[in-house]
Structure 1
Amino acid sequence: MGASPWIVSDGLWERIEPLLPRKERRFRHPGRKPLPDRQVLCGIMYVLHTGIQWEYLPGELGFGSGMTCWRRLRDWNEADVWQRLHEVLLAELNAAAKLDWSRAVIDSSHVRALKGGFATGPSPVDRGRACSKHHLITDGRGTPLAVILTVGNRNDVTQLLPLLDAIPPVRGRVGRPRRKPDSLFADRGYDHDIYRDYVRARGIVPAIARRGTGLGTYRWIVERSFAWLHGFKRLRIRWERRADIHEAFLHLACCLITLRQINSFC
């Protein structure tokens, strides 16, 4: 029987531990010793995988309180831990020639926001209920390169260039870090000639479906990536009023998917 998915593996911990901010304890009146980061990270991943509310986090599993995990997730997100971890993992895949730069695929998905909050808006596909939108760009194998959270009624095409800009400089190979694919595949929701020109101006070949047509055989790549992303139950519905906390879960999930890609090639 395999380990529980919220258990932090040695491989994940070796990569993330150097990225975590260190907080010096006061010499006088140091207070209670903080719970080890690895245990807290297990609690965060437990919430991400199961979708459980913070206040119901099982204390008997040694994760600490839900508020402890919430604060640590917030602090690590503010310290860009998830972004830096994602860059480390992408560099590993790139070094192994396991990133497909020949094409990138882009799409979006709506998620209901039951508590409202920042970056929520009326859903055009769910009777105007409050929702948010996940915008995702992947490489040709479905590895997440960048993800953006917006209000639910934001037009897809408005996030095309921001997603391209959000691809980090990926190291791991000789020469300058790479941050753009050779071509970009998108469905007809991105069908605007001016954006095709913008993409070409960046040295990327646009392969954007025209109205009345579809993306074809390449659509499954990003649809599978969304299935991986929303396999984390906390991302199927947005419970956080604070957008930064939901974004932290999004970026952590992208890191875990990228790590799975690394492990699958080992």
Structure 2
Amino acid sequence: MGNRQSRPWIVSDELWSLIEPLLPVPGPKLVEGRPRVPDRQALCGILFVLHTGIQWEYLPQEPGFGSGMTCWRRLAAWNEAGVWGDLHLVLLKKLRAAKKLDLSRAVIDSSHVRAARKGPQSGPSPVDRARPGSKHHVIIDAQGIPLAVSLTGGNRDDVTQLLPLVDKIPSVAGTVGRPRRPLDALLADRGYDHDKYRHLLWARGIRPLIAERGPPHGTGLGIFRYVVERTTAWPHAFRRLHIRWERRDDIHEAFLGLATCLITYRHMQRLC
């Protein structure tokens, strides 16, 4: 256990048993050459980059990860195949089956990350002197378990992602009866204050608890919202997500989706 904590890029047997069935079957090799790097080793290489923030070309070869380009291609292919979304749903189902998913209220928020270079889903950040940046948007359950995430430019208003994130929450089976989708209530700060979105949430059967811009601070929502501030900080503990190094937005989204799965997996280990 201590070995895994000191080397978090090592994929445990339990985690691999959840991921392996979701991976696409590799196609036939068109050119004979070196044998294909096993998927589990390539995943360890991807996790090494995610945890350490190292550049792909400097990925060490001694642990048997495969080359940085091999791991990069594998990450892009798995993201395109929807592996991280599928894995996240598997984890949420396990949490709901254990009655550890609390959808009595959800909380939404975002965090900024600086972009090392301009690219899709980046823009001038209003909190970083208009330097290129991106936003990680997240909606969580009452305990801080991420339900859905998204990536936008740093200049996008938070409220633009409110409904897309709500609609992105998957239908979570796991108990007898219909899959659970609607939230009971959604908490948000002043950045989401707009009557139009309150009406649209009510239309979805969700009670909006959104702070208003006019009244002074101290409305009482903070005692529930602290969990989302904690959750938005967790992805930034992965050094590859602390700064957006990728010009391609799909690669950064792949890292964000993988980190979301790891955070959810840790909740599952702790609660189930």
TM-score (norm 1): 0.97
SS at the partner of 1:148?
A: strand
What amino acid is aligned across from residue 9 of structure 2 in structure 1?
W
- Counterpart of 1:253? 259
Deviation at 1:24, TM superposition (A): 3.6
Deviation at 1:30, TM superposition (A): 3.8
Please say if 1:128 is aligned against 2:130: yes
Distance 2:152 2:31 in 1: 43
Distance 2:143 2:235 in 1: 14
What amino acid is aligned across from residue 33 of structure 1 in structure 2?
P
Distance 2:117 2:63 in 1: 28
SS at the partner of 1:195?
A: helix
Moved over 6 A (4+): none
Deviation at 1:225, TM superposition (A): 0.5
- Counterpart of 2:56? 54
Q: 1:12 aligns with which of 15, 18, 27?
A: 15
Residue deviations 1:154-178, cap 9 Å, x none?
A: 0011110001011011111112211
Distance 1:165 1:253 in 2: 21
1:93-108 equivalent positions in 2, closer than 5 A = 93-108=95-110
What amino acid is aligned across from residue 169 of structure 2 in structure 1?
I
- Counterpart of 1:262? 268
Deviation at 1:36, TM superposition (A): 0.3
1:112-151 equivalent positions in 2, closer than 5 A = 112-151=114-153
Q: 1:22 aligns with which of 19, 22, 25?
A: 25
Distance 1:228 1:16 in 2: 21
SS at the partner of 2:33?
A: coil
Using the aligned pairs only, state the percent identity.
66
- Counterpart of 1:223? 229
Distance 2:90 2:207 in 1: 27
Deviation at 1:29, TM superposition (A): 5.0
- Counterpart of 1:38? 40
SS at the partner of 1:132?
A: strand
Number of equivalenced pairs: 265
Distance 1:129 1:29 in 2: 44
Distance 1:197 1:60 in 2: 57
Distance 1:55 1:29 in 2: 23
8 A Cα contact 1:108 1:134, kept in partner: yes
Q: CA RMSD in A?
A: 1.2
Please say if 1:198 is aligned against 2:200: yes
- Counterpart of 1:2? 3
Distance 1:179 1:43 in 2: 35
Q: 1:209 aligns with which of 205, 211, 233?
A: 211
- Counterpart of 2:76? 74
Deviation at 1:47, TM superposition (A): 0.6
Q: Which runs of 5+ in 2 are unaligned?
A: none
SS at the partner of 1:86?
A: helix
What amino acid is aligned across from residue 213 of structure 1 in structure 2?
H
Distance 2:150 2:129 in 1: 23
Distance 2:9 2:223 in 1: 33
Deviation at 1:226, TM superposition (A): 1.2
Residue deviations 1:171-214, cap 9 Å, x none?
A: 11112211221000000110111111111110001010111335
